């Protein structure tokens, strides 16, 4: 959205295609979390900004090469986001396994005993929200809490960790997931098999870029740019900054 707004304000004729009925992508999902509802006002300002800039917004449409051949744009900016990852372990396709973003959006039913797999930001936030609902939550990660490549910013990490402790969440760090079974999960606890009971297993193990269209579109568009999560998954503010920078140089 940010690249569309900035480019339009600089005089470009911009069309923004959106697959869903609402603009916002992962940022819209994040705004549905209790501690992030204040960001909804920022999202509303973004949407208002692109409309005031004269961006032609088309929702409920999946872009195809045929659509671009018909519209013949000079520049294409691919910002198709990312999809949640799964883990290649036995039982991962059981109906008791759900994605963290589906829990955030209220699309997944969650039992009373929950194993949250993934100890970075989304995993910690989902675990905290479920614990506040009175559920018994185990937060499981194969790394240290708050790490997945780069560690979380220290203040965010400490605040979330303390809130998790206050709400009775149990931590299992350095414990890779081995299997999802009928009664919960099996973990590798330093070479020992550890069983954790769970009615629901929530995956929060990161995202993979959705880049399927790139190979086809680069054969059609004279100039194409890839930004946001479909380039490398990152936080919303970083993606907004990247979009604004690109909009200024187009």
The answer to whether the CB of 158 falls within 8 A of the CB of 239 is no
The span from the CA of 44 to the CA of 42, in Å, is: 5
Judge whether residue 21 has pLDDT over 90: no
DSSP 8-state secondary structure symbol assigned to residue 207 = E
Banded model confidence at residue 63, pLDDT cuts 50, 70, 90: confident
Least confident of 37-46, 91-100, 213-222: 37-46
CA–CA distances in Å: residue 231 to residues 78, 145, 223, 225: 9, 26, 16, 9
Judge whether residue 184 has pLDDT over 60: yes
- The proportion of the chain whose per-residue pLDDT surpasses 70, expressed as a percent, equals 92
Domain 86-205 has what CATH class? alpha beta
CA–CA distances in Å: residue 33 to residues 84, 103, 195, 228: 17, 10, 30, 21
pLDDT of residue 56: 94
Least confident of 33-42, 186-195, 228-237: 33-42
State mean pLDDT over 40-60.
88
Higher pLDDT, 211 or 134: 134
Banded model confidence at residue 36, pLDDT cuts 50, 70, 90: low
Q: Where are the chain's structural domains?
A: 2-83+208-249, 86-205
- The proportion of the chain whose per-residue pLDDT surpasses 90, expressed as a percent, equals 53
Least confident of 23-37, 38-52, 163-177, 185-199: 23-37
Residue 151: strand, helix, or coil: strand
Q: What is the pLDDT of residues 107-121, one digit of tens each?
A: 999 999 999 999 888
DSSP 102-117: HHHTT-S---SEEEEE
Can 2-83+208-249 and 86-205 be said to share one CATH topology? no
Closest CA to 233 of 49, 14, 113, 82: 82
pTM score above 0.95:
no
pLDDT of residue 222: 87
Closest CA to 214 of 226, 202, 196: 226
pLDDT of residue 37: 64
Judge whether residue 152 has pLDDT over 70: no
Q: Which CATH number fits domain 2-83+208-249: 1.20.80.10, 3.40.50.720, 3.30.465.10, 3.30.300.30?
A: 3.40.50.720
């Amino acid at each position: 959205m940010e690249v569309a707004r900035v480019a339009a304000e600089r005089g470009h004729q911009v069309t923004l295609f959106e697959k869903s009925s609402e603009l916002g992508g992962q940022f819209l999902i994040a705004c549905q979390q209790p501690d992030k509802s204040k960001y909804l006002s920022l999202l509303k300002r973004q949407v208002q900004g692109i409309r005031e800039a004269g961006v032609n917004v088309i929702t409920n449409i999946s872009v195809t090469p045929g659509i671009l051949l018909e519209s013949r744009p000079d520049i294409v900016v691919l910002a198709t986001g990312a999809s949640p990852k799964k883990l290649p372990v036995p039982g991962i396709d059981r109906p008791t396994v759900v994605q963290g973003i589906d829990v955030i959006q209220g699309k997944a039913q969650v039992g009373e005993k929950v194993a949250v797999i993934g100890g970075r930001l989304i995993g910690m936030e989902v675990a905290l929200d479920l614990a506040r609902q009175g559920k018994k939550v185990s937060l499981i990660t194969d790394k240290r809490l708050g790490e997945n490549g780069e560690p979380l910013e220290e203040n965010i990490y400490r605040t979330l960790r303390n809130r998790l402790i206050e709400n009775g969440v149990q931590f299992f760090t350095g414990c890779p997931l081995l299997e999802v079974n009928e009664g919960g999960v099996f973990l590798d606890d330093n070479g020992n098999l550890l069983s954790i009971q769970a009615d629901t297993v929530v995956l929060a193990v990161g995202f993979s870029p959705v880049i399927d269209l790139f190979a086809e579109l680069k054969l059609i568009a004279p100039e194409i740019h890839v930004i946001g999560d479909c380039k490398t998954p990152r936080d919303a503010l970083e993606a907004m900054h990247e979009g604004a920078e690109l909009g200024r140089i187009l």
